[in-house]
């Protein structure tokens, strides 16, 4: 009798163990979902390299005399990338000969200057600004440039005066702006030899050497860190981070 009970109990245990093993192979109801792929692609921050060719194509200007002026020149600062950008730049004057000077910039003046603000479709996002006409200030911000002309010995806005004035608060002689992709600034100007320039600016006078005049632009992201980095890399720029809000306003207008 005892052996029979033991056999029955053993069979029951074996049955329970077998059930347990079988239970362990059962599947659980499950569900899963995966979002669609999100592709991350780097944007581009790029200026139109051909935009400044209008000034380059002007070529060398020689044998100039007081009262002479260049043809009208336009440089286009265009955002050909995919990201909003901030740009900073302006005229650069350097000696054209070794150990030369830039004294001639005291007699070369900006006879005419206009900035246009154009969207990709050619429409304007801000009215054009003719800020220098006949060597003195004009338009909404003309008073500043009129003062420059009055303070200059030549009575006009010379390159020397223009490059020493911190008109926009980004550094002496520095112009700036912000562009959405496809938008551009068109800067049109005429340079001249100041009518009041005397014999001290003739080619054979002391310290009067040919000068190279170019227009250079740097661009970066509209971000505090990016503006600070550009400021640190270029000694001609100053206080770029102070203009973050203004740069964003320019983007909003476009």
Residue 31 lies in a domain: no
In whole numbers, what is the pLDDT of the chain averaged over residues? 84
Long-range contacts of 61-70 (CB under 8 A, 24+ apart): 64/193, 65/193, 66/107, 66/193, 66/194, 66/195, 66/196, 66/197, 66/201, 67/192, 67/193, 67/195, 68/192, 68/193, 69/111, 69/190, 69/191, 69/192, 69/193, 70/190, 70/191, 70/192
pLDDT bracket for residue 134 (50, 70, 90): very high
Check whether 170 has a pLDDT greater than 80.
yes
Inside any domain, residue 246: yes
Question: In this structure, is residue 149 part of a structural domain?
Answer: yes
Of 218, 235, 179, 191, nearest in space to 72 by CA: 191
Asked if residue 103 is part of any domain, the answer here is yes
User: Residue range 91-119: average pLDDT?
Assistant: 93
Asked if residue 213 belongs to a domain, the reply is yes
pLDDT at 218 over 80: yes
Into how many domains does the chain fold? 1
Query: Residue 53: inside a domain, yes or no?
Result: yes
**What pTM did the predictor assign?**
0.82
Whole-number pLDDT of residue 19: 41
pLDDT of residue 6 exceeding 60: no
For strands 211-220 and 85-95, give the pairing: antiparallel
**Structural domain boundaries, residue 138:** 49-253
Share of the chain above pLDDT 70, in %: 79
- The answer to whether residue 215 is domain-embedded is yes
Is residue 185 in some structural domain? yes
């Amino acid at each position: 009798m005892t052996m029979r009970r033991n056999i029955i109990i053993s069979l029951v245990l074996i049955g329970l163990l077998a059930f347990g093993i079988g239970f362990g192979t059962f599947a659980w109801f499950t569900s899963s979902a995966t979002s669609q792929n999100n592709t991350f692609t780097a944007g581009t921050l790029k200026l139109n390299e051909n935009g400044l060719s209008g000034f380059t194509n002007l070529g060398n200007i020689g044998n100039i005399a007081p009262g002479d002026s260049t043809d009208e020149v336009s440089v286009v600062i265009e955002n050909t990338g995919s990201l909003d950008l901030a740009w900073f730049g302006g005229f650069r004057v350097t000696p054209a000969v070794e150990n030369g000077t830039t004294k001639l910039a005291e007699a070369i003046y900006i006879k005419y200057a206009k900035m246009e603000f154009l969207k990709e479709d050619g429409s304007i996002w801000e009215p054009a600004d003719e800020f220098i006409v006949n060597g003195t200030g004009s338009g909404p911000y003309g008073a500043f440039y009129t003062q420059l002309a009055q303070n200059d010995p030549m009575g006009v806005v010379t390159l020397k005066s223009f490059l020493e004035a911190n008109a926009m608060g980004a550094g002496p002689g520095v112009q700036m702006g912000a562009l959405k992709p496809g938008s551009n600034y068109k800067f049109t100007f005429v340079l001249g030899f100041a009518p009041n320039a005397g014999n001290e600016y003739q080619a054979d006078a002391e310290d009067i050497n040919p000068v190279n005049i170019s227009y250079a632009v740097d661009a970066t992201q509209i971000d505090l860190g990016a503006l600070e980095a550009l400021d640190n890399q270029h000694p001609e720029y100053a206080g770029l981070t102070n203009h973050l809000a203004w740069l964003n306003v320019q983007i909003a207008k476009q």
